[in-house]
Structure 1
Amino acid sequence: MTINTEALKLDFPYLAERCYLNTAAAGLSWAGQGAAAAQFYDIEKSRGINGCHEWRSRLESAERNVRALLGGFGGHINFLSNTTEALNLVAHSIKWIAGDEIVALADEFPSVLHAWQGAQTAGAKIVVVEARGESTRTAALCNAITGKTRVIAVSHVHWVTGTAIDLQQLGRKCRDHGVLLVVDGIQAMGAIPVSLEFVDIYCGAVFKWLLSGFGLSILAVSQRAFDQMRPAYVGYPNLPPERSLNYGHVNYPGIYALDATLEHLQAYGWRDIHSAVARNAARLAAGAVRLGYAVAAPQDARAGIVSLVADDARSLRDALAKRGIDVEERSGLLRCSPHFYNTDEDVDRLLDALSVLSA
């Protein structure tokens, strides 16, 4: 089944104004999302606490839809404010033992690399490893595991290069050595299929590929990981003997928007969405290679991000913006991130512009 392009035009009217290929920075909101968030204020909360049954029911619906998104995940689901909060909450909630080590790649997203202050205070330390090329990211982490490793912290999809980690390979190695695998999934959820069979903790904000708002993130915790944690912060929802990581109210307007968005995307079909993302990325990468560009991520480890090696990526980004094409520059690479709402024509428009600008 293919995506209905006429429906996309109605859902994402901004695409008539710009060739938007920058979902890795922030995804486009669909036309009904504002109304979904407004329902919380205009209907449920207009009745004060008497609307609590409805907003709690919507929270349960959002949780079910998130579990489906994450391949039928059966562990604990929490809703927090952003990815950084989720990572820090995890770092402060694991029961550390002096000498524990947290392993991460040297060029990780800052939050993934630096969220472990709570562990360091408890006597753990961060071990930073280098990946010798994009194709070695998974192997570099696997090879870094020792008897002291407690946690592997990694982005599912790298924020600059777009390289996807093999979570099954890495997760199996972590399980074999009793290591917790902690994954930042912000650049994966909504772009590629996600399975948490061998993942202990998976988190990510929802404003990129999940096309929802700021101030809301997902934190999925396996029972295996939960048993090694105690709540870092305690409030009325998790007073002892409760051990939930949730310590206060969630962002209910954000939950309404997320739940409606997940249901809307499910109507398109996750399989079709993921296929469209893969097709757009493959078309873009192949066309860029024909123009003489190198693609940062290996072909067998690409998700939605296609980052191109360019002499002056920032100037190229600015020149494309003047032509109505939105991409991003990250660490000297031209980062392009088409979602399912982009068409062949969008990708070809970018490639045509690159052909002219690089001539």
Structure 2
Amino acid sequence: METFESLVRAEFAPKNVYLNTASNGLLPARTVAALDRAARMRADGVPLGSLYEDVEAVRASFARLAGVPVERIALGGSVAEYGALIAASLPEGAEVLTAEADFASLVNPFHMRGDLKVRAVPLERLAESVRPDTALVAVSSAQSADGRLADLAAVRRAARAHGARTYVDASQSLGWLPLQAAEDDFTAAIAFKWVLGPHGIAFFVAPEDFGGLKPLLAGWIAGEVPWESCYGPVEELARSARRFDISPSLFGFAGLRASLEMVEQLGVDAIQAHDLALADRFRAGLSRLGHTPVPAPGSAIVSVPGLGSRQGELSRAGIEVSDRAGHLRAAFHLYNTDADVDRLLDALSG
């Protein structure tokens, strides 16, 4: 019988101690094989129509992970694309509440509108800062820079009390933290981090009534019958959130289908338990070394102030982490082990 450990070891054999999933996730062996098969189809002149089945399989898989009907799922290329659609739907002068120093792909589309009131507050004060004139609260579920988790339950309560909508970027938590997209108006995430997919694919969850969004990026793929929407204006947009799809990167979806199948096979709850045990082991070790990480309980991302400058020497030693704003950022995921944590601690103690 396959265990969590045996399944993971069959898929991953990194050459380095890889603790940088918050930047890019590793590709499972099955994903590499799927990408190779898709590329060979193109090289051999084989029709690519079957790859569109991968797109729909990815949509269904993400819907299961998100806990929403598949009709609410759109597939595109970046979080910023969908933030731009949300920004375009807001009335002039609307207030958008964000967390200070949240990731640019989340917040920048609202600043680019030029006529919205974008207000940033400390993450821990986000819920209490919602006001009657707040139209939208936009926040990452886990902060990219340091792994701090947003109190989404409190944010949702405050938003509902004031008639505001919520928009969550789950890019740094999808795959290790259970997603409750049904509780928010909008959710977006990219696929190349914790769900271990190729670059170039993003997920989006729209409201059932589309939340006033206009499909400004719609091409032929957004038609109710795409192959009948290739020429001239699209006469009938998809009746589902697929109207917000961007023309798919087919090879990427072939690979992502395999990655998501593995994530579902392992189970997000099991992945979360594994990742957090490693993160907590690292935090305990840091305490013994006299270092204090940014407080981020319950996060698989650990950020240590003042140690970011050591990223280069750690990389040369075969340990991959990130330098973010002077902090050393280590991200622990399913392919990591206790030995990886201990090797990083040993290197930091030197």
Alignment CA distance shift 1:144-1:45 (3 Å): farther
**Deviation, structure 1 residue 329:** 1.0
SS at match of 1:223: coil
Query: Mean Cα displacement is larger for which, 33-42 or 336-345?
Result: 33-42
For each residue in 1:18-53, what CA deviation from the matched residue of structure 2 results, as whole angstroms up to 9, or x when unmatched? Answer: 11111111111111212212333434896766x52x
**Residue 230 of structure 2 is aligned to residue 242 of structure 1:** no
The equivalent of 2:145 in structure 1 is 160
Distance 2:29 2:305 in 1: 35
- Superposition pairs for residues 41-56 of structure 1, below 5 Å? 41-43=39-41, 51-52=48-49, 54-56=50-52
Q: Is the 8 A contact 2:128 2:158 kept in 1?
A: no
**Residue 200 of structure 2 is aligned to residue 215 of structure 1:** yes
Distance 2:180 2:218 in 1: 30
SS at match of 1:218: strand
AA at the equivalent of 2:343: R
**Deviation, structure 1 residue 271:** 1.9
**Residue 314 of structure 2 is aligned to residue 320 of structure 1:** yes
AA at the equivalent of 2:62: V
**Residue 223 of structure 2 is aligned to residue 227 of structure 1:** no
For each residue in 1:99-145, what CA deviation from the matched residue of structure 2 results, as whole angstroms up to 9, or x when unmatched? Answer: 3111112211122221125643xx4221222x1xxxxx24x222222
Give the gaps of 5 or more residues in structure 2: 224-233
AA at the equivalent of 1:69: L
SS at match of 2:96: strand
SS at match of 2:284: helix
Alignment match of 2:347 (pick from 346, 350, 353): 353
CA RMSD across the alignment: 2.4
**Residue 294 of structure 2 is aligned to residue 281 of structure 1:** no
Alignment CA distance shift 1:102-1:178 (3 Å): same
Distance 2:2 2:304 in 1: 27
Query: Mean Cα displacement is larger for which, 233-242 or 203-212?
Result: 233-242
Alignment CA distance shift 1:160-1:227 (3 Å): closer
Q: Is the 8 A contact 1:183 1:199 kept in 2?
A: yes
Alignment match of 2:191 (pick from 197, 200, 206): 206
For each residue in 1:292-322, what CA deviation from the matched residue of structure 2 results, as whole angstroms up to 9, or x when unmatched? Answer: 11120332xx321111122x421x2222223
Q: Is the 8 A contact 1:183 1:202 kept in 2?
A: yes
Q: How many residues align?
A: 336
Query: Mean Cα displacement is larger for which, 159-168 or 236-245?
Result: 236-245
AA at the equivalent of 1:249: S
The equivalent of 2:333 in structure 1 is 339
Alignment CA distance shift 1:24-1:73 (3 Å): farther
Alignment CA distance shift 1:72-1:274 (3 Å): farther
The equivalent of 1:106 in structure 2 is 100
> 4+ runs of 1 displaced by more than 6 Å?
none
Q: Is the 8 A contact 1:61 1:259 kept in 2?
A: yes
Give the gaps of 5 or more residues in structure 1: 132-136
SS at match of 2:260: helix
Distance 2:313 2:340 in 1: 16
Q: Is the 8 A contact 1:105 1:141 kept in 2?
A: yes
**Deviation, structure 1 residue 149:** 1.1
**Residue 80 of structure 2 is aligned to residue 89 of structure 1:** no
Distance 1:29 1:151 in 2: 35
For each residue in 1:46-79, what CA deviation from the matched residue of structure 2 results, as whole angstroms up to 9, or x when unmatched? Answer: 6766x52x33332221111101111345651111
AA at the equivalent of 2:13: P
Q: Is the 8 A contact 2:166 2:184 kept in 1?
A: yes
**Residue 13 of structure 2 is aligned to residue 13 of structure 1:** yes
Distance 2:108 2:275 in 1: 30
Alignment CA distance shift 1:355-1:2 (3 Å): farther
The equivalent of 1:149 in structure 2 is 134
Q: What percent identity do the matched residue pairs reach? A: 27
Alignment match of 1:115 (pick from 85, 109, 114): 109
Distance 1:118 1:77 in 2: 25
Alignment match of 1:77 (pick from 59, 73, 82): 73
